[in-house]
Amino acid sequence: MDQVFGGAVQFAPLGLINMFNSGGAIDDVASTTDPSGTIIDIKCRGPGRFGAYSAIMPELCRVDGVEVQFAYTEDGLLAFDLPHSSSDVNLSNIEILYIVS
């Protein structure tokens, strides 16, 4: 189910889309909004291809503070790769930035 973040961003994390229980990889979803935009913060377990539904294309995506290349399709699929994390629980911190005017 998608949610509206920051009053303008329809977004629904799918998880690791190459796994049978893709949503089981999602640990937490939160957002912050200020005049410069909306940031969706996600904690996701494991390496793999992360996917989400996004009604609009984000400005940028970061994994553990590092900007990553992402793919965005017309039907709203946002996807990028999560590397192996250096933490013991293999938990990646994802930031997705939207600038909505």
Confidence of residue 8 (pLDDT cuts 50, 70, 90): confident
DSSP string covering 46-96: SSEEEEEEESS--SEEEETTEEE--EE-TT-EEEEEEPPPSSTT-EEEEEE
Q: What residues make up the domain containing 70?
A: 3-98
Predicted confidence band of residue 87 (pLDDT cuts 50, 70, 90): low
Number of domains in the chain: 1
Identify the pLDDT of residue 40.
96
Compute the mean pLDDT over every residue in the chain, rounded to the nearest whole number: 90
Question: Quick one: what percent of the chain has pLDDT higher than 90?
Answer: 66
Q: Is the dihedral of CA 58, 10, 43, 82 positive or negative?
A: negative
pLDDT band of 43, cuts 50, 70, 90: very high
Global pTM reads 0.89
The CA distance from 24 to 4, in Å, is: 21
* Over residues 19-30, mean pLDDT: 87
Give the type of residue at 17.
I
- Note whether 61 and 94 are within 8 A (CB): yes
Half-sphere exposure for 81 (CA within 13 Å, toward CB) = 3
